[in-house]
Structure 1
Amino acid sequence: MKITIITVGKLKEKYLKMAVDEYSKRLSKYCKLEIIEVMDEKTPDKMSITQEILIKQKEGQKILKNVKDNSYVIALEIQGKMLTSEKMAKKISNLGLEGKSHITFVIGGSIGLWEEVLDRADYRLSFSTFTFPHQLMRVILLEQIYRSFRINAGEPYHK
């Protein structure tokens, strides 16, 4: 199975990079992982609705350029469906059984995802009603993907 994570912005913090590297290494046993970073747009402090829409659109266009036609797209979105770790593992397993061997997860920038990206998504996933920094969300997502593969392999993983 191939897992692609498309994310807005670069990781700057060393500790987050180390965590991403660690989970990437662990996941290499289970899947082919690709992380694509698209450049984020500058967001002014007091931005208008029009500016917000334009920023989401620019970031969204960059995201969509990297989405493969045959990929099953899961957008991380606060209004998405929440799953337990076990249900997330089952979803990944079921996708594989359905012949969907490429899953793309999309993490938006600091102001969220453009509506056209959400429209392209096959599934909208929420980790919480909390708002997380998008850089930290990358680590959380990788951990949950790793946990899913461990669960599906019948390997022990703490609860």
Structure 2
Amino acid sequence: MPIKLVSVGKGNSRAAQAMAQEWLEKLARYTTVSEVLIKPNPKGASSPQVQKDAEAEKVLKALSPGDRVVILDERGRAATSEDIARLISQAGDNGTPLAFVVGGPFGHGAAVIARADDSIRLSNMVLNHQVAYVVLLEQLYRGWTIIRGEPYHH
């Protein structure tokens, strides 16, 4: 069951890229991961709402009609590692492609929120999108090890 990661941002720093690459290589043992980077709307946008709406249009184009879309949002439900494992497992059982969306600096546009099947937060703290992306990758890897009963989780 492939996983799609859609992220709004300018890309990761070298340090974040190195960490993300490490987790992507580990995830390759279990699944294929496709990454889509959406460039944020220029900072000169007339308002944060205009920026979010413009980014949302691009995000929606990156999603496929059958994707189960999970957005990362500071207002989303708290998710445990076991919850991530259940998301992966349920998507696999249903044959549904799984897409995770990391929003831009102002969050997700209304159209992305409406399209989402689930909204989770990775922490009670607000995370920079680069940090959130790396944490998500680690949690996806952890989820797979939980599903497989491998010792990484505990």
- TM bracket (short chain): over 0.9
Counterpart check, 1:7 vs 2:7: yes
When normalised by structure 1's length, the TM-score is 0.91
- Cα deviation for residue 158 of structure 1 reads 4.1
The residue number in structure 2 matching 1:103 is 98
Q: Answer yes or no: is 1:18 the counterpart of 2:14.
A: no
Q: Which moved more, 1:108-117 or 1:11-20?
A: 11-20
Looking at structure 1, the residues matched to 126 and 21 of structure 2 have their Cα atoms a distance apart, in angstroms, of 23
* Counterpart check, 1:82 vs 2:78: yes
Q: SS of 1:10's equivalent?
A: coil
| Unmatched segments (≥5 aa) in structure 2 | none
Describe how 1:113-152 pairs up with structure 2 within 5 A: 113-152=108-147
Alignment of 1:157 onto 2:152: yes
Q: Which runs of 5+ in 1 are unaligned?
A: none
Say how many residue pairs are matched: 154
Aligned-partner SS, 2:47:
helix
Distance 2:31 2:54 in 1: 30
Contact 2:122 2:132 in 1 (8 A): no
In 2, the alpha carbon distance for the partners of 1:61 and 1:24 equals 27
Deviation at 1:136, TM superposition (A): 1.3
Counterpart amino acid of residue 29 in structure 1: R
The offset of 1:68, in angstroms, is 0.4
Give the CA RMSD over aligned residues: 1.5
TM-score (norm. length: structure 2): 0.94
Aligned counterparts of 1:22 and 1:12: Cα–Cα separation in 2: 14
Partner of 1:11: helix, strand, or coil?
A: coil
4+ long deviations beyond 6 Å = none
C-alpha distance in 2, partners of 1:12/1:52?
A: 22
